Structure 1
């Protein structure tokens, strides 16, 4: 019974339940501690779902102490995200060109609009990071994973995380993004990353062709050059359909042997070493051979 509940109820619980509570709290102007609390709840639910209904049992086991490293990435990147939210009023005061924000719209619709706009900016930077060597060297940290589970979504070089989020949020700031909407957006990003990289074997039906969740995103982490240059979207796959980068095969199964980077199989696994690696890389390490 619990397996069926997780398979079909986990995604609605996270997308509508956790985000819905966040939206409700954001409308009250409550202290931003609620954001931290809901983030911890989402991470806890992510781990529980992965253990109760795993896609791949072995992905629930730490490899070469990567669990500690991933916690470090998650802590740093989410701390930066939370700090950025608190800085929204100051940033908005400095860069807002014109307050064109639709304040009269229902708050939930404002959040959805912010998600849609941010998704475009983040997707384009993600796409560029697979095409431009200088960006790829920082993004490669994220592609060094050898198992696919929730915290992988938060495993990013902080400079690349900052670049992606800046591309998503900057257009919103220019038109007067309210701090409440920014708070709900920050939670939505964290929830989406947990779902997108989840090891939970959930189902979303035909929505897998529209929402950027784990069934489609596994293809993005295939280790061969060109093969993994698909499904770049964070929230949706709309932009991938328009860019011609959408890919999905319903019969394909994934294992650790198919993940990572073929050209850099010995990529550093320790946290500090991964932070330093982009500055030591001398070439575009995404120049990998095609899948045999």
Structure 2
């Protein structure tokens, strides 16, 4: 793997060429600047953490495939990988998003996990770059829960590659500063409006909209929240998240004592309140 591929600089530039104009044409908040507060930190996340995540995914896939060779009958993995690529991609999206939903909900419900996930929610202005801001512990656990079954079952490399392209583009769109009308499809697929409400610092939106692709999963589990055509008034969390890259990585580990626990409990909003 070449350094340029590892750090994804070319891909990041391509994404910028797509989403910067898109956010200008379909801007939700027209006064929000391209170089908004914290954008430099998010660029570091995209480059450094992106490279780290790629290495982890390669190791994760190798481990899962090795275990699969011992535990799963070859006829099953052959059947799975022998399906049409488009069908495999759909199956991967469904399987992975069930895992994302479960892990994402756990990160909101368990105070110790929320400390890591709070880094992603600490942003007060949403745009496409926010998709990259996630603590490595958050990323690794979420990817393990959602993708290990995919690697384990033997889906083809082509289908997995297509899934990653779709998943990346969709994640950037969900966080983008855009207003888009998906009509009744909003009940089926995750939309920017759907995910912006997940980031809302408003009580009626707490612990809602956990899926990354299929909003219908939230509809089935009672966590779907889109109030008409409205968009959130504000984003972020009520706890003080460090603004610098290093501080954010250390934040989950330096919060201690009963005071930190109480703050986490207040922000987590246990499922009994939803």
TM over 0.5: yes
CA distance in 2, matches of 1:176, 1:253: 40
2:132 aligned residue (154, 159, 164): 154
Q: Higher relative contact order by CA 8 Å / sep ≥ 6: 1 or 2?
A: 1
Report the Cα offset of residue 41 of structure 1.
2.3
Report the Cα offset of residue 165 of structure 1.
0.8
RMSD: 2.6
Higher helix share: 2
* Aligned counterpart, 2:169: 191
1:261 aligned residue (233, 237, 256): 237
1:46 partnered with 2:22: no
CA distance in 2, matches of 1:271, 1:289: 23
Give runs of aligned pairs for residues 242-257 of structure 1, distance below 5 A: 242-255=220-233
Report the Cα offset of residue 173 of structure 1.
2.2
* Aligned counterpart, 2:182: 204
* Aligned counterpart, 1:136: 114
Tell which deviates more after alignment, 206-215 or 120-129. 206-215
CA distance in 2, matches of 1:125, 1:88: 17
1:126–1:164 contact (8 Å) kept in structure 2: yes
1:220–1:231 contact (8 Å) kept in structure 2: yes
Tell which deviates more after alignment, 83-92 or 130-139. 83-92
Report the Cα offset of residue 228 of structure 1.
2.2
2:114–2:268 contact (8 Å) kept in structure 1: no
1:273 partnered with 2:247: yes
Unaligned 5+ runs, structure 2: 270-274
| Cα distance per residue 1:178-197 (max 9 Å; x no partner) | 33333222222211110111
* Aligned counterpart, 1:93: 65
Tell which deviates more after alignment, 233-242 or 55-64. 55-64
1:106 aligned residue (84, 93, 110): 84
1:219–1:230 contact (8 Å) kept in structure 2: yes
* Aligned counterpart, 1:79: 51
| Cα distance per residue 1:101-148 (max 9 Å; x no partner) | 312211121112111100000111001111001110000000001011
Report the Cα offset of residue 48 of structure 1.
1.6
CA distance in 2, matches of 1:185, 1:275: 28
Give aligned pairs, total: 254
Structure 1 pair 61/40, CA: closer, same or farther in 2 (3 Å)? closer
Report the Cα offset of residue 93 of structure 1.
3.5
Tell which deviates more after alignment, 272-281 or 91-100. 91-100
CA distance in 2, matches of 1:185, 1:166: 15
2:205–2:225 contact (8 Å) kept in structure 1: no
TM-score (ref. length: structure 2): 0.83
Unaligned 5+ runs, structure 1: 1-31
TM-score (ref. length: structure 1): 0.78
